[in-house]
Chain A
Amino acid sequence: MTEEIDPGELPPVVRIVDDDASVRAAIEDLLASVGLESRSFASTRAFLDGDAPEAPGCLVLDVRMPGQSGLDFQRQMASLRIGLPVIFITGHGDVPMSVRAMKEGAIEFLMKPFDDQALLDAIQSGIGRDRVRRAFEAEITTLRARYDELTPGERAVMDSVVKGLLNKQIAGLLDVSEITVKVRRRQVMLKMGATSLPQLVRIYDMVASSATDGQNPSGAEGR
């Protein structure tokens, strides 16, 4: 099993959170045997304190632990802005528990003792999902930066263009000449890297969805 790693991208790291040292050591070793790097933590607290979030990967999480349970931690992850895909491992799962975990977006819910291949497959799909997520987030960050580089005038034109207004209407709305609108519109397309109006609308939506904290593009809703 080989990993294709793009140059410039960090190698994936699997995070393991389980209160049992033997289980942690065993999983780490299993992952090492297939060439996967891992880091393990005895509790969710230790994970929060010690994890390096920039590395892509996924989280192998025990359900029953002293302190915070894995399921509660999964709930909390969104508000902590931790986007790592989760794979649950548990010694005594039941159907409601697994349903809850899967509803919250878990990749897998494995019963201990689990099949090694099932865990490895889940981890691979988790890493894949994390890569896609990170690529998407990186794209949004780039677009957001580009949007922030627009002049206020260009930004105003972009906001109106994506609403489907005609150049003439925009000119009237912004109280500038139609030529100015056309020039700014060309600048917007160029700076945002869009080649068509539909593409510009898509980019605008992505930028808008990323900014939910007050610095929305003017007039755009969070979603």
Chain B
Amino acid sequence: MAQKVIVVATGSRIGRTSIVAVLTAAVFALDTVTDLEIATAVFYIVVILIAIGLFSRRGVVRLAIACIALTLCSAALTKSGSYEAGLINSGISIAAIAITTWLALRMIAAEAAAYEARAQLIRIARVNSLGELAASIAHEVNQPLSAITTSGDACLRWLAADPPNLERARLAAGRIVDDASRAGKVVARVREHMRGEAAERREMSLNDVVAESVALAQSEIDRGGVTVRLDLTELLPPIQGDPIQLQQVLGNLILNAIEAMADQPAPSRSLDLRTWADNGIVRLCLGDAGIGVSEDNLPFLFDAFWTTKKGGTGMGLAICRTIVEAHGGTIRAKLGSPVGLEIHLGLPAAARS
């Protein structure tokens, strides 16, 4: 049994913030104690670099200003050493802090833009591919379906005629059979197409897939005011498959969960992602506190063209299931307690060679 590490986003943040505070204090103390000739204040850049991933832009700027103030403070408090060297060293330290901060801020901005762009791309790709796919499948299946309906009506009319025209009825029934097998072929082709996409097989950790997917959906998560809680088991056995496709599955599930919670009061909008392994199966449970679905509808959740969302295509979860099954895995849903929906995903662990 692998040990569990609880990684709660807010908890770890508090921990790292205190590291920043302790480090700042340490640098300040060292800088004050050491001679003016020693530019200990340069180490404030470590504080800044740690703070990048933790604070907002404004926070980083404030911290930098505080570091500069502390540098000046230390210089004033330090008694030993040459005054001239102290001035130069303080100048160098302040310049280093300022330049580091400036570069850090640019990095934050660039990273944010890159994330935003990727998330946008995923959203567009999802909408486009699903929308187009659904439209073309709908058209291709609807044509034979329409012909079947009309032929069926004609067949009934030939039979209802007095005397019944059996020959024409037989011909109509023959057309129905042909059109039905044509519709079946369309569906088979779609399935083939989906299966064909799972070509890439790579060993990876489901935890990484989860982390990546959460990162990709971060802007949606923030926009939806959702708190994400990760409970990822360390040392999870690797799984084998296409990471992009599995990310697509996770992304879809996360976006669904966010949508399901859109009308809930903000404090209760939480999304729990839990991974663990048992008996050679790597498992993920994704639980939201959203509106869920009615118990009667649970069995249809993963069916194509079935949706409870206004304007939904009913393709998202169907594609998820196709991808998961192409990976030899299972996906099922159950009602969360007390509210929401839990999606359970199981993928076979990669065989150890």
Residues of A within 8 A of B (CB): 20, 22-23, 25-27, 29-30, 32-34, 64, 89, 91-92, 112-114, 116, 119
Contact = CB atoms under 8 A, between A and B. Distances in A.
A91 B186 CA distance: 16
Contact of A113 (B149, B157, B158): B149
Nearest to A116: B153
B179 interface: yes
Contacts of B165: 33
Residue in B138, B144, B171, B178 with the greatest tally of chain A CB atoms within 10 Å: B144
Contacts of A23: 143, 146-147, 150
Interface in B157-199: 157-158, 161, 165, 168, 171-172, 175, 178-179, 182
A29 B158 CA distance: 9
B170 to A, nearest CB: 12
Nearest to A112: B146
Contact of A22 (B135, B138, B144, B158): B144
B143 A20 contact: yes
What 9 pairs across the A-B complex have the smallest Cβ distances?
A116-B153, A112-B146, A113-B149, A22-B147, A26-B150, A33-B157, A30-B154, A113-B146, A91-B142
Nearest to A91: B142
Contacts of B175: 22, 25-26, 29
A33 B157 CA distance: 6
B166 to A, nearest CB: 13
A89 B142 CA distance: 12
Interface string B128-144: 00000001001100111
14 contacts: A22-B144, A26-B175, A27-B150, A29-B151, A29-B168, A30-B157, A91-B139, A91-B146, A92-B135, A92-B138, A113-B145, A113-B148, A113-B149, A114-B149
Interface residues of B, number: 26
B139 A64 contact: yes
A26 B151 contact: yes
Contacts of A33: 154, 157-158, 161, 165, 168
Given A22-B179, A23-B147, A112 B168 contact: no
A89 B150 CA distance: 12
A41 B147 CA distance: 16
Contacts of B135: 92
A194 B38 CA distance: 121
Nearest to A21: B147
Nearest to A25: B175
A22 B138 CA distance: 16
A29 B161 CA distance: 14
B297 to A, nearest CB: 25
A43 to B, nearest CB: 15
B143 A91 contact: yes
A119 B150 CA distance: 10
Interface in B211-262: none
Contacts of A30: 150-151, 153-154, 157
Given A26-B147, A33-B158, 19 more contacts: A22-B143, A22-B147, A22-B175, A23-B143, A23-B147, A26-B150, A29-B150, A29-B171, A30-B153, A30-B154, A33-B157, A33-B168, A112-B142, A113-B148, A114-B146, A114-B149, A114-B150, A116-B149, A116-B154
